[in-house]
Amino acid sequence: MKDDKKMHEHNKHETKEHAEKQKSEDMDLLAELEKLRSEREETHQKLLRALADLENFKKMSEQRQADFIKFANVDLIKQLLPIYEIFGLAIETAEKNQEIEPEKRMTDLITGLKLVFNDFREMLKKHGVEKQDTDRKKFDPKLHEAVSRERTEDLPDGTIIQELRAGYTMNNKVIRPAMVKIAVSKTSEDTGQKPGTAAAGESDKDG
């Protein structure tokens, strides 16, 4: 009877030890699974970030390429602008001379020049080139270059009075600023501000 009881106690003890060991192993297994799950999630997040970085890099590369193509002809266009303006001047001069010498050849010359001038203008437009409109516009240092000033109380300080050389943009980017004469008030003149200084400050405030 004692032996049976002793055996029962022994078995009970072994069962308890086995249960505790099993519980410990289960906890270790759960911890390992949790670790693997955490590592998998971390790897997944890293992969997502890498894919996002790759997508951003791809977009930036495409944008750079698009900008390069868009403005690749800037230098060529800048060289062609003076020729374009010479044609315009030739037409203007020929039209004035026609009043003095109204001959058919002068008419033909004007017609031919206008055709070339219009074709040239269309070519520039095709490449996104546009002439700036400066008439009575407010001086903007991002678009204009003030090379002269004129004292007047009839116009607001910094108003463009005269365009001395045309300015151009290409795809909304300035490729040649317009040279202009601007209005300056007595106050600005007395304080010794340079042409366009006051207007530039106001432009910055507006921006």
In-domain check, residue 139: no
In-domain check, residue 114: yes
In-domain check, residue 194: yes
Q: Reply yes or no on whether the pLDDT at 129 is more than 50.
A: yes
Are 15 and 58 in a shared domain?
yes
Are 4 and 56 in a shared domain?
yes
Characterise 158 by phi-psi region: left (phi > 0), alpha (psi -120 to 50), beta (else): left
> pTM (2 decimals)?
0.51
**Boundary residue ending a domain (71, 91, 115):** 71
In-domain check, residue 17: yes
Are 1 and 50 in a shared domain?
yes
In-domain check, residue 137: no
Are 28 and 58 in a shared domain?
yes
In-domain check, residue 136: no
Can you give the residue range of the structural domain that contains 33?
1-71
Helix axes 74-100 and 104-126, enclosed angle (nearest 10): 160
Are 95 and 107 in a shared domain?
yes
Are 95 and 114 in a shared domain?
yes
More reliable by pLDDT, 62 or 176 = 176
Q: Reply yes or no on whether the pLDDT at 201 is more than 60.
A: no
Are 61 and 80 in a shared domain?
no
Residues 151-167 have pLDDT tens digits of: 988 889 999 999 999 99
In-domain check, residue 133: no
Are 63 and 6 in a shared domain?
yes
Least confident of 38-47, 66-75, 163-172: 66-75
In-domain check, residue 163: yes
Are 108 and 174 in a shared domain?
no
Are 17 and 65 in a shared domain?
yes
Which two three-digit tokens encode residue 61?
């590369």
Are 99 and 112 in a shared domain?
yes
Q: Reply yes or no on whether the pLDDT at 44 is more than 60.
A: yes
Q: What's the total number of domains in the chain? A: 3
- Quote the pLDDT of residue 74: 82
Are 153 and 183 in a shared domain?
yes
